[in-house]
Amino acid sequence: MIGTLDSRIPSGPLAQKWATHKDHARLVSPNNRRKFQVIVVGSGLAGGAAAATLGELGYNVKCFCYQDSPRRAHSIAAQGGINAAKNYQNDGDSVFRLFYDTIKGGDFRSREANVYRLAEVSNLIIDHCVEQGVPFAREYGGLLANRSFGGAQVSRTFYARGQTGQQLLLGAYQALCRQIAAGTVAMFPQTEMLDLVLVDGHAKGIITRSLVTGKIAAHAADAVVLATGGYGNVFYLSTNARGCNVTATYRAYKKGALFANPCFTQIHPTCIPVSGQNQSKLTLMSESLRNDGRVWVPKKAGDKRSPKQIPEEERDYYLERKYPSFGNLAPRDISSRAAKEVCDEGRGVGESGRGVYLDFADAINRVGEQTIRERYGNLFHIYEKITGENAYERPMRIYPAVHYTMGGLWVDYNLMSNIPGLHVIGEANFSDHGANRLGASALMQGLADGYFVLPYTLPVYLAGQIGKRPPTDHQEFCKAEDEVRARTTKLLSINGSRSVDSFHRELGFLLWDKCGMARNTRGLREALTWIPEMREQFWRDVRVPGIGKEFNQSLERAGRVADFLEFAELMCIDALTRDESCGGHFREEHQTPDGEALRDDEHFADVFAWEYQGNGSIAAPKLHREPLVFETVELTQRSYK
């Protein structure tokens, strides 16, 4: 493999590691920064923040996104909020507590040092975003307001109505716009990365395709930063935007970057249930709703009465019953599984029987409809648009859906992958959320990486790289460009009988069934026989109309689905190899007597980092294991009872 699996965690006490690391890290002096070219792929919270901040520091940055504007990156859809350890509520919060909640919430499958650093810089993020003009919710005295989120017993979540992601992204986007105007950042919207270029084992550039003109181009740099988000769309139906994809990280994996814990996917408990066959995506209803909404199903299986006709004593508020200390704010993996369980028992609601109620009647009685409207108005509005139902009058129907992926490219403490020069930030890396992410922590991590971590750790690599940027006519660029062209030509020439979407849908449903909320050996083995067949059929029978040198949405999707068809196999292999349950990875063979995830710390307190060897019949990926060392926390059976 390229490089080593060294996490480069600084020595010393946990609370001092980041400070010590910063004190001793290599720097690039201001007059040398402009000699460096840095590529940032992705313009969401992580990528947008990183590109803007590196630009502010004086580096030359090229930033790429597939959207038509960096402001549309999918971070924009995050609703509920962003965590920080400010303890403004005087309710016992601290950096340590945020760290501990995040490690525990991740079911002890993330690195202590990375998570502690995340908690440490969380407060800087709030300061910075306020200064940028993010209109966070305020109290009447003018101070910042907070609310509660799952998996925590303190109120540490900052929010901007139900549009926190949008407002934080606009903050990063505005900072990015400032740098674009200043000339430090060159922005390439509607441009997709199709390959990573390695020169002498270092990441030194990328190959892109313009989604408008179809032009394929090479870009050289001194370092490459991937901030390309998660791979939830491998399931076809998810809360991700339609364009979200695994291509950038998967291409890097095929060039030798290790992919860590790909089976760690988050199923969010509160989404609008699937209705009908043509549904193209699922819509989240923010977890913040569980501050005021109560989750329930009828006690009796098959009870088809309307919710109002079911008297209190015939309702099962199952989260409050099973997890009295956290109640409706139990973490996402636990709440999702509980919903699946009651639906499997035939107590689900709605036409399909795959749904549970999220009921605001008590909250409306307690604080009034106006207050609820102020807190969640836009969410109730989205709900009504999609379902045609008024949630002020009848409970929402919700069901779990794929939402986030904790797995991602393996990175060390400097957020660099095993390939020197290739850095990975935000959802695209694996490092901070373990096997389950807590609510309001994705925004925190994306911005932490972009504003306050990468700007300190990137120079560690760059300092030794002055003058080493290769020209784009280097043979490695030519080779990668030819490969991208050949692949595009191949996709267009198959001219089979099936659409790209039909393959994507088929793959997604298979994964949801076999590698979704619950997994078992038999199902995973079945998936592993089906996926290569599906892939073979894709390359034989897909139909991609149009040509390569033009705006061609079918071709864009075909490339992404082709990568999903390979990546899905890696996910299932990872899920099969991790023979324990932890967080969102629930192996049915491993559960406690009351149906909770049963970890096996003795054998699996490791990061699984996979090295590409070829797909399917060629060779299975090679497993490397990074043992997780816990110096501070004690591994316990996670309990929210």
Catalytic residue from among 332, 397, 587, 599: 332
Tokens 């139906």 correspond to 237
Q: How far is the CB of 254 from other proteins (least distance, A)?
A: 26
Q: How far is the CB of 145 from other proteins (least distance, A)?
A: 9
Residue type, 452: F
Q: How far is the CB of 229 from other proteins (least distance, A)?
A: 12
Residue type, 127: D
Q: Is 576:521 a contact under the CB 8 Å cutoff?
A: yes
Q: Is 408:424 a contact under the CB 8 Å cutoff?
A: yes
Q: How far is the CB of 386 from other proteins (least distance, A)?
A: 7
Q: Is 397:384 a contact under the CB 8 Å cutoff?
A: no
Looking at 422-482, which runs of residues are DSSP E strands?
422-424
Quick one: 50 or 260, whose CB is closer to other proteins? 50
Pair of tokens at residue 198: 């390695």
Quick one: 327 or 548, whose CB is closer to other proteins? 548
Quick one: 13 or 388, whose CB is closer to other proteins? 388
Which residues does 16 contact at the CB level (< 8 Å), separation at least 6? none
Residue 148 has phi, psi (to 5 degrees) of: -95, 155
What H or E segment, with its residue span, contains residue 218? Answer: strand 216-220
Beta bridge partners of 610: 259, 623
Query: Within 13 Å, how many C-alpha atoms sit on residue 14's CB side?
Result: 19
Q: How would you write 159-201 as a 3-class SS string?
A: CCCCCHHHHHHHHHHHHHHHHHHHCCEEEECCEEEEEEEEECC
Quick one: 84 or 358, whose CB is closer to other proteins? 84
Quick one: 172 or 527, whose CB is closer to other proteins? 172
Is 109 considered catalytic here?
no
Q: How far is the CB of 487 from other proteins (least distance, A)?
A: 20
Q: Is 257:418 a contact under the CB 8 Å cutoff?
A: yes
Report d(CA 583, CA 404) in Å as an integer. 13
Which residues does 601 contact at the CB level (< 8 Å), separation at least 6? 108, 635
Quick one: 124 or 633, whose CB is closer to other proteins? 124
Report d(CA 198, CA 200) in Å as an integer. 6
Quick one: 145 or 534, whose CB is closer to other proteins? 145
Tokens 């390569």 correspond to 548
| Secondary structure (3-state) at 16 | helix
Q: Which residues are catalytic?
A: 332
